[in-house]
Amino acid sequence: SYALIAAALGAEVHAFEPVGTSFGHLVENTMLNDLQGRITCHPVALAETTGLAEIRLQWPYAGVASHSWNGKRRQGDGSFRFGINVIQERLDDFASRFKLPMPGAVKIDVDGREPNVIEGGREVLSEASSIMVESNIDKGMDTRVMLQGMGFKFIEQTLRSDNDYNMLFEKKRVR
The pLDDT tens digits of the residues spanning 4-28 come to 999 999 999 999 999 888 899 999 9
Distance CA 60, CA 108 (A): 21
pLDDT in tens, 157-167: 998 877 788 99
Q: Give Cα 75 to chain centroid, integer Å.
A: 18
In percent, the amount of the chain with pLDDT more than 90 equals 62
Instruction: State residue 90 phi and psi, 5-degree precision.
Output: -70, 135
pTM: 0.85
- Whether 45 and 57 have beta carbons less than 8 Å apart is answered as no
Instruction: Share the mean pLDDT of the chain.
Output: 86
Q: Is residue 73 predicted with pLDDT exceeding 50?
A: no
- Whether 44 and 94 have beta carbons less than 8 Å apart is answered as yes
pLDDT for residue 67 = 56
Burial class (CB in 10 A: 0-12, 13-18, 19+), 105: middle
Residues 6+ apart with CB under 8 A from 15: 1, 3, 26, 39, 40, 41, 42
